[in-house]
Amino acid sequence: MPQGGTVWLTGLSGAGKSTIAHALADLLRQLNQAVEVLDGDEVRQHLSAGLGFSREDRDTNIARIAYVANLLSRNGVIVIVAAISPYRAARDAARHQIGAFVEVYVSCALDELVRRDPKGLYARAVRGEIAHFTGVSDPYEPPHEAEVVVATECTDAQACVEAIMKYLREIGWLSVSPVAQ
């Protein structure tokens, strides 16, 4: 059975996690990899409906995502998680549970996130209209030692995907190049 594992994208809202996750999944599928994307927004609607945004609820959400990612990973699937996952301890617990785990910090300066915010969420959070907004009124703890760091304020999604693919090849998760386009 092919090796499974989890690529965990963490970063602030709007940093590009979902865009990168889906582009990475498309590329991995071209390599005939079994791939699933667990997008934080979708998981919240289905698996974690009813949870709020307290630290305990956020940790519960991440624990649920890690549980599903572990089930899939141990069955040969490369799971791509795209979730803010603001607390280091919850991400570390996911890493410990899953084992085959690559943390990708999707970094983006707050000023850029505010500038590109299509829903106006950051502006509302700054005005105090949204409580517990990560990066504004709630903390985000960036990884200390992510395997891959991509800065989306100065790097496009394709270059971010290429950096992740390069790392996955280096650690032996992938052995072939993508199909020529």
Q: Which residues are catalytic?
A: 85
Helix (H), strand (E), coil (C) string for the chain: CCCCEEEEEECCCCCCHHHHHHHHHHHHHHCCCCEEEEEHHHHHHHCCCCCCCCHHHHHHHHHHHHHHHHHHHCCCCEEEEECCCCCHHHHHHHHHHHCCEEEEEEECCHHHHHHHCCCCHHHHHHCCCCCCCECCCECCCCCCCCCEEEECCCCCHHHHHHHHHHHHHHCCCCCCCCCCC
